[in-house]
Amino acid sequence: MVTNAGFSPGETNRLPPHISSNTLGSRNTAGRGLRGQVALVTGATRGIGLAIARALAAEGCDLIVTGRDQAALNRISRELARRGKTAAKIRILSHPSDVRDPHSVDALFRAIRRQFRRLDILVNNAGIAQPNLPVDKLPFPVWKDVLETNLDGMFLVTQAALVLMKRGGSIVNNLSVAANRVFAGSAAYNASKHGALGLSNTLREELRPRGIRVIGVLPGAADTDIWKTLWPEAPRRKMMSPETVARAVVDSILLPANTTVEILEIRPSTGTL
């Protein structure tokens, strides 16, 4: 499954510029970081999702990685096992899932309950783009597929995950700068991301009493495969790397449990593509 990426660069990360990744990481409890926490990453076989999975593995997280391609998941799980903390070998479950399908999501969470019984971190990253087409030329099946993947999928996975999450947990929704602005020719993508931002903001308010943080990530242009659909000729050299976005995400998770980066908007410094 193609993972999320943003559209346009411009402003810098909303985290204060004087805060480094080392500073953020050092604020986590007792220097333990995320070791032993259980994290689920959807759309984990490429792009930002894969970069986040790698970063979480490096922090010592046990991981569930999911996507539509079982062969890719098997390859990624072997790689992640090698990247895990050497002091404590991490556990990895790779399980194919189509986030659009409630039955597929149910099967994924049955597997998670069997192996882990809990979930500390959810990264909703799975998403797809659309060809650049105006509304009057946009086929309804394309519209439907984008909304079902980017919005319905986030709802279904989050709803299933909440049963396994307790106080101190974190939900990271990878959105896009398209969540709070629009781009002509991308009606389905724009609508899905605006909806996903609304869902994220609602979840944050609902989950405050439970002590579960919700982080909305709005990346600008990141160098991922999604551009093959959005804009094949896009200038990749101006884009952020997926690893840059992943580092910002993990740094946000590492903050103390009583602190939330509610919206993390991170873009290249070179300006709009």
Catalytic residue status for 137: no
The order of strands in the sheet holding 121-124 is 92-96, 62-67, 38-42, 121-124, 170-174, 213-219, 263-266
Pick from 235, 227, 135, 128: nearest CA to 184? 135
Residue 19 CA to residue 16 CA, distance in Å, equals 6
Tokens of 235: 């200038």
Residue type, 63: L
Q: Which among 7, 109, 116, 189 is annotated as catalytic?
A: 189
Asked if 151 and 121 touch (Cβ cutoff 8 Å), the reply is no
Pick from 47, 145, 44, 41: nearest CA to 101? 145
Residues catalogued as catalytic? 189
